[in-house]
């Protein structure tokens, strides 16, 4: 019975790893979260390493990533000096937060690019006045769209 439970947990963890990699995340992050999500009790880092057949360094690095996302937390277990972890079961909230943070990051990169292009137009007289006006109007529209999307993300963040 215990072996069946472990097989189920490992199969689920491996599927979560594949899912994570499809979303351009490290598969180990998905495996660790999946294992903890399907564990009714806290799991030590050593147990995770053994069950998932991964290196301790990889487990340690990726568990810290999950901690920084709020997806897992370290818990204290009586009479043990090891670090134990458990998953936050609110998967949808974690995913929503990761998506919002990723979009914010990409939007900020886009805004920086828009500003660089806009600055390259200033005072260079490379283009005819008509062409420069066209570029400036398009950049202004792009900046406005950026601001609207950013405002929308702020609304989602407050949920």
Q: What is the DSSP string of 90-130?
A: -HHHHHHHHHHHHHHHHHHHHHHHHHHHHHHHTT---S-HH
Is pLDDT of 51 > 60? Answer: yes
Q: Are residues 44 and 107 in the same domain?
A: no
Q: Which domain holds residue 103?
A: 92-157
Q: CATH no. for residue 30? A: 1.10.10.10
- How far is it, in rounded angstroms, from Cα 7 to Cα 1? 10
Is pLDDT of 158 > 60? Answer: yes
Cβ neighbour number for residue 31 with a 10 Å cutoff? 29
Cβ neighbour number for residue 88 with a 10 Å cutoff? 16
Q: Are residues 27 and 44 in the same domain?
A: yes
pLDDT at 50: 95
Q: Are residues 96 and 85 in the same domain?
A: no
Q: pTM for this one?
A: 0.68
**How many domains does the chain divide into?**
2
**Nearest C-alpha neighbor of 109 from the set 78, 149, 80:** 149
Domain edge (last residue) among 50, 69, 89: 89
pLDDT at 73: 94
Domain edge (last residue) among 74, 89, 104: 89
Q: Are residues 55 and 20 in the same domain?
A: yes
Q: Are residues 67 and 13 in the same domain?
A: yes
Domain edge (last residue) among 89, 110, 131: 89
Q: Are residues 75 and 108 in the same domain?
A: no
pLDDT at 28: 95
**Nearest C-alpha neighbor of 101 from the set 145, 153, 63:** 153
Q: Are residues 33 and 103 in the same domain?
A: no
Q: Are residues 127 and 49 in the same domain?
A: no
Q: Beta strand 84-87 with 72-75: parallel, antiparallel or unpaired? A: antiparallel
Taking every pair of Cα atoms in the chain, the longest distance, rounded to a whole number of angstroms, is 78
Render pLDDT for 65-117 as a digit per residue (tens, 0 to 9).
999 989 999 999 888 888 899 999 888 888 777 777 777 778 778 777 777 77
Q: Are residues 77 and 131 in the same domain?
A: no
What six digits make up the tokens of 41?
A: 């009790």
Do residues 66 and 29 lie in contact, with contact meaning Cβ atoms separated by under 8 Å?
A: yes
- How far is it, in rounded angstroms, from Cα 22 to Cα 150? 26
């Amino acid at each position: 019975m215990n072996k069946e439970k472990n097989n189920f947990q490992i199969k689920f963890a491996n599927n979560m790893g594949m899912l994570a990699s499809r979303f351009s995340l490290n598969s180990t992050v998905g495996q660790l979260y999946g294992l903890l999500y399907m564990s009714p009790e806290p799991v030590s880092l050593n147990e995770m390493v053994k069950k998932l057949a991964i290196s301790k360094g990889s487990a340690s690095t990726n568990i810290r990533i999950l901690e920084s996302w709020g997806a897992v937390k370290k818990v204290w277990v009586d009479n043990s000096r090891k670090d134990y972890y458990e998953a936050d079961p609110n998967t949808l909230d974690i995913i929503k937060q990761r998506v919002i943070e990723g979009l914010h990051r990409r939007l900020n990169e886009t805004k920086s690019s828009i500003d660089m292009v806009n600055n390259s137009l200033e005072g260079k007289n490379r283009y005819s006045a008509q062409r420069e006006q066209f570029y400036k109007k398009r950049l202004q529209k792009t900046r406005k769209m950026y601001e609207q999307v950013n405002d929308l993300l702020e609304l989602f963040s407050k949920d």
